[in-house]
Amino acid sequence: MSTSTQAKSQLGKRKRDDKTLDEHATKARDDNVLPDSGPTTANPLCINAPTFPIDSAFGSDPGDAILKEPELDLLFFKQFLKAPGRKALFDYMLAELPWYRTRGMTIRTPRWTCVWGCDDTGAPLAAYKKKPRPIPVALQELKQHVEERTGATYNFILCNYYENGKDSISWHSDDESFLGPLPTIASLTLGSSRDFAMKHKTDKSAKPEKWTLDSGDMVVMRGTTQSKWLHSIPKRANAGGRINITFRKAMNVAGTNNYYRYNVGEGPVHRWRNGEMIEMP
């Protein structure tokens, strides 16, 4: 094979490998013709575009800084999203997003999850254990508004669905090295109110904190918060469904692989239908 032919062959392969995530997203949207179309195990990226204006849902709260010693740095937005837009967004996300609960054959998380995005390193697709998924249009629009209000940038969106008060997340911090030393993570609540609890990792004299997050509220954890504090969503009797949308930034390929491993894994895709999660064929 001549040098010219080899170069053309390599260029063609590179172009195929470098298809942008936006192209995948566009195809996924174009495939959604029927009202009942949506995620399947074979094609989890089929998501209908929203039929309502997301712009109309955003409130005007500038956010209140919550600075407490030792080293707690939060920004709290009361009603970042206002009614009725937040209800429309909750219903849309619950029905349209592909949800996962079992990772592989053994680990069942106490909530439903899905994740979108990719680090900004420009690594080839071969570097990823799972192909990164483009952020859907509706979530891209949300991300843009969150970035404008928080002054931070994000390349990942992790969604959790707490089906009822029995679903929860235990004490933890998002302090993985792939998020950088002082990560900013924004957490938006839709649906049922839940308690958001925090406690210092090492200082037993530091007073534990707890806030009730209502639908449309957003809390932003920044600065040293992740390195010094733990947070959780405890179980709550009689709680209804809640969707939590978190905006974060992975700094490298390891971060991308981690998010898809723990929030998609090898488990089946589910979709919300007639008041319950149904496994997709």
246 is an annotated ligand-binding site residue: yes
Give dist(CA 226, CA 176) in Å, integer: 9
CA distances from 13 to 10, 16, 191 (A): 5, 5, 46
Query: What are the residue ranges of helices labelled H in the chain?
Result: 3-17, 21-30, 85-96, 137-150, 225-228, 253-263
248 is an annotated ligand-binding site residue: yes
175 is an annotated ligand-binding site residue: yes
* Cis peptide preceding 132, ω within 30 of 0: no
CA distances from 77 to 62, 97, 146 (A): 7, 25, 11
Q: What tokens appear for 172 in the block?
A: 């933890």
Question: Do 152 and 184 meet the contact criterion of CB atoms below 8 Å apart?
Answer: yes
160 is an annotated ligand-binding site residue: yes
> Residue-wise over 115-130: b if at least 16 C-beta within 10 A, else e?
bbbbbeeeeeeeeeee
Question: Which residue in 225, 232, 163, 157 sits closest to 188, CA to CA?
Answer: 157
169 — alpha (psi -120 to 50), left (phi > 0) or beta? beta
Residue position matching structure tokens 């679903």: 167
231 is an annotated ligand-binding site residue: yes
Where is the binding site for 2-oxoglutarate, in residues? 160, 162, 172, 231, 242, 246, 248
Where is the binding site, in residues? 160, 162, 172, 175, 231, 242, 246, 248
Where is the binding site for substrate, in residues? 175
